[in-house]
Structure 1
Amino acid sequence: MMYISRRERFSAAHKLWNYEFSDEKNIEIYDKCANANFHGHNYELIVTLRGEIDKSTGYVFDLKKLSEILNQRVINKLDHKNLNLDVDFLKDLIPTAENIAFAIWNEIEAELKTANCQLHKIKLIETENNFVEYYGQMQS
């Protein structure tokens, strides 16, 4: 089994806010991330695929093609956007790093399934110290 990864970057604004909570509870839970005027991050997205090496190409998956998919399906929709207001696949989600990673997985998974490989992991780095990793639904 071979694992390959591609890193992309985007900058975006968001605020963490649950409209079912009171203002006080939102501030208690999300603190400065609940800023009414939003705040921003320079995110790093690392997408990892796993699979067998294709004997005819030497690839698990063409990383140039992976970059094109990520840019078309994800980066162009997120970069320099307000994640609360501008991104269709984040609609109705609190744009935490966890929810963003989950939504990115759902946005690209079907397009990355091939005979040789499948999506293995989404790693989203929000700050120098904070990141999430998502491996999809657990198989039973």
Structure 2
Amino acid sequence: MPTVRVTRRAHFCSAHRIYRDDWSQEENREVFGDCSNPNWHGHNYILDVTVEGPVDPETGYVADLKVIKQVVKERVVDDVDHRNLNLEVPWLEGTIVSTENFAVAIWERIGGSLPSTVRLHRVFLQETPNNSVEYLGPEGD
């Protein structure tokens, strides 16, 4: 049976600030630039979650995309949409909320919640039209 990858896309809007509490505002500004703005800033994110597995001969599906959509919604989007990532998302607490760290945290949130017939292959997180991150999980490191 062939292994096929399928991707589900989600959209959400969130605010955040990239900074370190143990650095001065000047140090944060020097390293993180405008992203360290103490008044926050926001993005319209695009999240692609790709799973892989065998094609079910009965359905022709690798996974029911409605199920993948629901997992992504319940485990990620419901928590982060129109929220401040630094202040309102417990599973990001204590994290420098860069796009890189955010993508890893999303992987950790959804990896164990997917149907047993699929494996999480990729989390792709686009922060702006020009900036995105792809995480292939700990095995892809």
Question: Is the structural similarity TM-score above 0.5?
Answer: yes
SS, match of residue 126 in structure 1: strand
SS, match of residue 128 in structure 2: coil
Partner Cα separation in structure 2 for residue 61 and residue 98 of structure 1: 27
Q: How does 1:91-130 map to 2 (within 5 A)?
A: 91-114=93-116, 116-130=117-131
- 1:73-99 C-alpha deviation (Å, 9 max, x unpaired): 100100000000000111110111001
Partner Cα separation in structure 2 for residue 47 and residue 101 of structure 1: 10
SS, match of residue 95 in structure 1: coil
- Shift of the 71–19 alpha-carbon distance from structure 1 to 2, 3 Å rule, reads same
SS, match of residue 61 in structure 1: coil
The 8 Å contact of residues 2 and 60 in structure 1, kept in 2 or not, is answered as yes
SS, match of residue 21 in structure 1: coil
Partner Cα separation in structure 1 for residue 125 and residue 42 of structure 2: 14
Q: 1:20 aligns with which of 19, 22, 31?
A: 22
The alpha-carbon deviation at position 22 of structure 1 amounts to 2.1
SS, match of residue 84 in structure 1: helix
After TM superposition, the score normalised by the length of structure 1 is: 0.95
After TM superposition, the score normalised by the length of structure 2 is: 0.95
Partner Cα separation in structure 1 for residue 140 and residue 124 of structure 2: 19
Structure 2 unpaired stretches of 5+:
none
Amino acid in the other structure paired with 2:111: E
Structure 1 unpaired stretches of 5+:
none
Q: Which runs of structure 1 show a deviation greater than 6 angstroms over 4 or more consecutive aligned residues?
A: none
2:62 counterpart residue number = 60
